[in-house]
Structure 1
Amino acid sequence: MFFLKDLPSAEMIEGVTANVPEVSPPRVLSVLTRLRAASVLMRDGEAYLRGHGLSQTQFLALMMIMREPERTSLSAVEIATRLDVSKPVLSKVLASLIDKGLIAPAAKQPADRRQKQLCLTAEGTRRFADILPGYFRILHAADL
C-alpha cells in the first residue's frame, strides 16, 4: 500500500531534485500519482472482496485454480509459485478456503502426497463466478 494521501507539488519535487540531474521531477510526480491510484484501487478491491467474505489472497488463490483451462486442480506448490506469498501464509489461506467449503482435495490425487491436488468445490466455483464480474468492474474503473 502507498499511504501518501496528499502528493507533493511539482515545485517541491523540483526543489528537492534541483541538484540531481538524472531525476526528472515530472516523472517522479507521475510515478507518485500512479502509486496513489494503485493504492486506492487495492483498497477498493479489498473492500469489495471483504464484502463477499474473502481476502485478496483467498480470492487470488481461487483465481489461480480457475484460470488453468486444461486443469481443474493445482497443488499448493503450484499455487505458491503463482502468488507472491510465503508458504506459511498460503497454508493458512488454503486452510481457510477449505473451511469455507470453497476448495477441497481433488478426487484424483498423484502418488506423491506432497503434490496433493486442490480444486474448487461447486460452491467455490459459484462464488467465484458471482464475484469476478464486480471485481473486473472495479479494475475497469481504475484511474491508472
Structure 2
Amino acid sequence: MFFLKSLPTRNVLIEYKKRFPNMDIEAVESALNLLRQASLLERHLDAYFSTQGLSQLRFLILIVLDRENRKASLKSSDIADRLDISRPVMTRTIQALEKAKAVRISEDEFDGRAKVVSLTDCGRSILYNSLPGYYDIIRDFMERNRDSTVS
C-alpha cells in the first residue's frame, strides 16, 4: 500500500532533479500518481471484500483455483507461487478457507508430503457472488480516474 497522500509538486521534483540529475521528472511523477491510484483502488477493494467475508488474499486464492478449473486441484505451493506470497501465509489462509468450507485440502496422490487444494461448490459460490461487485468497483474506479491514469 502506498501511504503518501500528498504527492510532491512539480516544483519539488524540479528541485530534486537539480540534486539528482539522473532523475526523470515525468517518470517519477507518473509512477507516484500510479502508486497513489493503485493504493486508493486497493482500499476500495479491501472495504468491499470485508463486506463479503473475504480478504484480497482469500479472494485471489479462490480466483486462482477457479481459473485453473481444468485441474481438479493445485498444490498450495503452486498457489503461493502464483500469488507471490510466503508458504506460511498461504498455509494459514488456506486453513481458514477450509474452515469456511470454501476449499478442500487433501493429500497429493503422487507426493504424500504435499497437500493439494481444490475449490468447493461453496467456495465457487462465494467467489461468483463477490465478482459482480468486484467488477463494478474496478469499472467505477477506472471511469472516475480515466483522465488521470498513466498511459
**TM-score between the two structures when normalised by the length of structure 2:** 0.86
- Listed one character per residue, the Cα deviations across residues 53-90 of structure 1 (whole Å, up to 9, x for unaligned) are 11111111111111114213111111111111111111
User: Which amino acid in 2 is paired with 1:102?
Assistant: A
User: Which amino acid in 2 is paired with 1:74?
Assistant: L
- 8 Å CA contact retained: 1:110, 1:116: no
1:113 aligns with 2:122: no
User: Which amino acid in 2 is paired with 1:121?
Assistant: T
Whole-angstrom distance in 2 between the partners of 1:24 and 1:77:
39
- Judged with a 3 Å threshold, the aligned counterparts in structure 2 of structure 1 residues 27 and 111 are, in CA distance, closer, same or farther, namely closer
Who is 1:29 aligned against?
29
Equivalent residues in 2 for 1:62-141, closer than 5 Å: 62-105=62-105, 109-140=108-139, 141=141
* Cα root mean square deviation, aligned: 1.7
- Listed one character per residue, the Cα deviations across residues 113-137 of structure 1 (whole Å, up to 9, x for unaligned) are 2333211111111110111122122
Unaligned runs of 5+ in 1: none
SS at match of 1:104: strand
SS at match of 2:18: coil
TM-superposed CA distance for 1:45, in Å, is 0.9
- Judged with a 3 Å threshold, the aligned counterparts in structure 2 of structure 1 residues 22 and 109 are, in CA distance, closer, same or farther, namely closer
Identity %: 35
SS at match of 2:113: helix
Whole-angstrom distance in 2 between the partners of 1:83 and 1:114:
22
- Listed one character per residue, the Cα deviations across residues 83-124 of structure 1 (whole Å, up to 9, x for unaligned) are 111111111000000011111136x95142233321111111
